[in-house]
Amino acid sequence: MFCNSKNDPNEKTPNINICPVCMAHPGVLPTINKEAVKQVLRVGLAMNGTLADYSEFDRKNYFYPDIPKAFQLSQYEFPLVSGGSLNGVELTRIHLEEDTARSSHTNESDHSLVDFNRAGVPLMELVTEPVLHNAKDSGAFARELQLLLRTLKASDANMEKGEMRVEANISVSKNKGELGTKVEVKNLNSFKAVERAIDFEIKRQIEMIEKGESIVQETRGWDENKAITFSQRVKEEAADYRYFPEPDLPKLKLSELPELSVDNLQETLPELPQAKRERLQEVYGIQPEDIEAYVTDTKLCDFFEGVVMELTKAEGEDIAKHIKLASNYLTNNLVALRGELAEHVTKNIEHREFSELVLLASQGDISSNGAVELISYLAKPHEAEQSVRDLAEEEGLLQQNDDGALGEIIESVVDANEGAVQEYKEGKEQALQYLVGQGMKLSKGSANPAKLKELIKAKLG
């Protein structure tokens, strides 16, 4: 945040991405990372927050092994962003600071280790208003925040790498609308942990209050193995940190930096998740589960919309039906291949090819299983000159729809299964499915089952 040391969450070797500035050697001077400021302002803009014109950094003083300076450069009175909302949750502020180092402790050792690679990394802290009332809503908010950060490309926000952490402040009160004593559970590194820790802490505090015990304002940790919170330290108040403006950094007058103006920042924003949800629903009318797949995966969404453009060229067709079928094949069958193929599967398939496949399946020229087989073939590197219909024919996946050819199959099935024919005429519907199955067997799977069923029913009256 204040030097040019590398920000690499994948680095395994400790204490390698460090320099005199982030290690707080005597006489060094910090320099503000403009890109970090820009990213936080973009996040604030995406959440309809109020961007500051004047901002400054402060020293937050406390002694701990993971703070080389014995103070953290943060923001107190003048954050970069105030207000805003996300997923219906009101925000208090968003400010920018530097991260701390990473401490590791083991029960087998009488000492702790500190890795300073993370010390000084730009850290955006977002604070919500006390408007969340349960673990489920809190988890949903955290997931939506991760999605927004990734959409903006402000952060990869991988919780398992420490790129995003959640700290839950929980207070319980018997009096509606009144906040109880606040307990903070620190450094939750998965959405599952967030929800389990909040549920546990709410239950713990309720039990204490009902016993007449007092809740202590404190910081607690989360033990994933035991599924309990545990006390770490008594919670400090703001005054305990002795905040004061950082003397070695200039004040930020953002209106004097044209590249950080609201208009310029607005131009850098992509389509945001909620806007994309509403557009996909309104324009395509596809399933909510499909929409979420496209909101979380921009490449998949771009591919889907490219296929839709091809489908709209098919004159006199039921485009809405084709679009829904295409989306179903994409979000279920194509996505399932990602674990098997090294590169993104949509790189190997042309929009035209996928739309041809959808039309063949929609018109009954190939079965659903045949479509899945073709998707598996097209997802691998292949020559694109061949039409999908020719490929289906070559692979024996085209279904018979010809009334004459199917009529011969039906004659053979009816002659060979007099008992099933009689049962069907007596009203046993299962007998019809048996006859269709016999027809499929006789055609070696090439008959269109829907067409076969229709013709058998007509034959038997």
Sequential DSSP letters for 22-51: TTT-TT------HHHHHHHHHHHHHTTPEE
Pairing outcome for strands 218-223 and 183-188: parallel
d(CA 51, CA 47): 11
Domains of the chain (ranges; CATH) run 1-130+236-269 (no CATH), 273-394 (no CATH), 403-460 (1.10.10.410)
d(CA 25, CA 61): 17
Model confidence, pTM: 0.85
pLDDT given for residue 94 in this prediction: 98
pLDDT given for residue 397 in this prediction: 80
Q: Give whole-number Cα distances, 275 to 81, 222, 281, 306, in Å.
A: 22, 35, 10, 19
pLDDT given for residue 369 in this prediction: 83
Q: Mean pLDDT of residues grouped by 10 in the chain (461 residues)? A: 94 96 94 97 98 97 89 97 97 97 84 93 97 96 98 96 95 92 94 98 97 94 95 78 94 93 96 97 96 93 95 84 95 80 71 94 85 89 83 80 66 78 76 77 69 75 75
CA of residue 303 relative to chain centroid, distance:
18
Instruction: Determine how many CB atoms are found less than 10 A away from the CB of residue 279.
Output: 12
- Residue 89 has phi, psi (to 5 degrees) of -100, 125
d(CA 147, CA 302): 17
d(CA 119, CA 66): 8
pLDDT given for residue 342 in this prediction: 47
- Residue 154 has phi, psi (to 5 degrees) of -80, -25
Buried b (16+ CB within 10 A) or exposed e, 4-22: ebebeeeeeeeeebbeebb
Encoded tokens for 73: 């450069």
pLDDT given for residue 106 in this prediction: 76
pLDDT given for residue 301 in this prediction: 94
Q: Is 114 helix (H, G, I), strand (E, B) or coil?
A: strand
pLDDT given for residue 394 in this prediction: 85
pLDDT given for residue 455 in this prediction: 76
How does DSSP classify residue 283? H
